[in-house]
Amino acid sequence: MRNIAILGSTGSIGTQTLDIVREHKEIKITALAAGSNIELLEKQIREFHPKIVCVYHENMAMKLREKVKDLTITIVSGMDGLISCATEGEAEMVVTAMVGMIGIRPTIEAIKAGKDIALANKETLVTAGHIIMPLVKEYNVALLPVDSEHSAIFQALQGEAHKSMKHILLTASGGPFRGRKLSELQNIRKEDALKHPNWSMGQKITIDSATMVNKGLEVMEARWLFDLEIDKIQVVVHPQSIIHSMVEYIDGSVIAQMGIPDMRLPIQYALFYPERIDLIGGKQLDFTTLKQITFEEPDMDTFFGLALAYEAGRNGGSMPTVYNAANEWAVARFLENKIGFLAIPTIIKEAMKNHKRIENPSLIDILNVENETYDFVKEYAESEFKYKP
Ligand code: NDP
Ligand code: MG
Q: Residues 41-84: pLDDT tens digits? A: 999 999 999 999 999 999 999 999 999 999 999 999 999 999 99
Assess whether pLDDT exceeds 80 at residue 1.
no
Which pLDDT does position 171 carry in this prediction?
Answer: 98
| Under 8 Å between Cβ of 218 and 170 | yes
Mean pLDDT for all residues in the chain: 97
**Ligand 1 nearest-atom number relative to CA 102:** 18
Buried b (16+ CB within 10 A) or exposed e, 330-346: bbebbbeebbbbbbbbb
Query: Does the predicted TM-score (pTM) go above 0.95?
Result: yes
Mutation test residue for ligand 1: of 12, 146, 370, the one with most atoms within 8 Å of CB? 12
Which pLDDT does position 199 carry in this prediction?
Answer: 81
Which pLDDT does position 42 carry in this prediction?
Answer: 98
Which pLDDT does position 51 carry in this prediction?
Answer: 98
- Contacts of residue 302, defined as CB under 8 A and 6 or more positions apart, other chains included, come to 180, 181, 182, 185
Assess whether pLDDT exceeds 90 at residue 39.
yes
Assess whether pLDDT exceeds 80 at residue 186.
yes
Which pLDDT does position 339 carry in this prediction?
Answer: 97
Cα of 175 vs centre of ligand 2, distance in Å, is 12
What integer is the mean pLDDT of 5-31? Answer: 97
What integer is the mean pLDDT of 123-136? Answer: 98
| Under 8 Å between Cβ of 133 and 43 | no
Q: Is the CB of 141 within 6 Å of ligand 1?
A: no
What integer is the mean pLDDT of 161-187? Answer: 96
User: How far apart, in whole angstroms, are the C-alpha atoms of residue 128 and residue 320?
Assistant: 9
- Contacts of residue 231, defined as CB under 8 A and 6 or more positions apart, other chains included, come to 310, 314
What integer is the mean pLDDT of 186-195? Answer: 94
Q: Is the CB of 56 within 6 Å of ligand 1?
A: yes
pLDDT above 70 covers a percentage of the chain that reads 100
